[in-house]
Chains A and B, each alone.
Chain A
């Protein structure tokens, strides 16, 4: 028994040493990704197939990865930081963790609004936070704007997830950017007063709650509904069939938009490979894949979107420079704390 233990220990120690020891030989690029493995690996595998460049991947929350990048400092192996929210990219930029990229491809393909003015981060896909409503009980003519959701006519009718969630923080940050802190706080208080229940669960849970009648409206990201419409579970498909999408603020500023994006790490050891990967992420092939597999909107105009997204029609997007979302993120959290948004 003792021998068995010792030999197993030796093997695992050796294996740990080996996996630590094998580094750079062939061309490769190291990615810290805030996007989960199954949502990014397929694109990275295609990149490897096209270029022969190996992609090494670590996935975790963007905040944790940013902390790791910061502490590892100049010796960090990371080349690219991928996040699913612009606020995190902006924070990484402010912490000096990113560097500017000068690329004609990126600048010509990505609209200016969806990339950093100094070239330190680039959006690669878009998502909108929209209102989903109960087709039976809500007349869409009554819906208009995000601002209107704080109106007492919606009392006890709105479902939304916790304010700890980054998408709600970004939406509130956009509101601050448009209306200032005071007005946003009044709006948040009105919205909280209209909640059908304490915030809980994820976006799919809010859609389900609308479907079974616990609330009439929910505020969710587009790809969650698209995911439910195309789900393997019949139950989720049925829930999704009971609701419809409403694009808010189409008469004024447009629907709230966020990006998933990437930035080149300040000390990237494989700079040119990393830029190749960035450019690949906005190529026709990757953009189509994002639109088909993840139900996100392509960051480039003219790329076809999935049938589900097409069925929701064209919409006007908020033209707010996305940097604003990052700038107001901490203030947004404070506003939501004060409004009692759990």
Chain B
């Protein structure tokens, strides 16, 4: 059942999407083929998919850690920007220098930048009880304006014809390709590594267990000496750090500079990815590929059958709608299964439990 919901959701999206776009006067079946099938049989597109999926997977992994603990960080977009900006700051300061230490320093700065931005909702939540959904959302817009300010003013490339963007990064500031001759940059294996690490931490370590318990049963966790405040901090630092990491990886990789068009909604799309992946890092890797497919395939469908770009958004939204709708199937099973006390002990089942954690945790079950 764990896997059933996403599979059903994707299947429903394909069927309903085909019908809907046929009704709207487009080639519905062709749209499905072009978006979801053909790119998979084109080796070039696989590179595109991996490159597009990497930041989505990395951000979603960080968010999922928080979501499971019932910490609703929707500020990944801003944390992604700040990560990119922090790394860019290092890059601009070291434009005239060389050495292998520059890129690692940039990446570190990216992580710290994302964490710093996420620390704002964390402080507000732990000291004042401010709702993190709202504060982290608002900070996204502040981050975008900060980016615009730096691009227009202090960080503008002096040789760039007054266009609002930074200078190109040097070779020492650019992410290397892991497979020569392809587009696969270092960010791709890093995203996979991060997801695998997160999977291990969440399922096999005490901290991961405590995080899930906080999400499932905050009071029980408090009895166990694991405070809500540390959970909030861990959740937001994981989310912010990974979003910031993804940000600097994108800036130093595919972008190769900082531009005002840097934010493209990855922070929001990653929320879809996190849910589509059922808040499981392994599922997230797969979900990121599916979302990447909608982008890459959507572009193909525009050229081959003239499908408008708006269709991509409609497909993404439908997929999430259907996933959220079919989720209830999973939840019912788990809720009924939770009565059995031993499920929490067995490692294999603990995973299943945790997957539903974020959802059952916020669902109030009331007996009237």
Q: Do A and B bind each other?
A: no
Residues in A lying within 8 Å of B, measured CB to CB: none
Chain B interface residues toward A at CB < 8 A? none
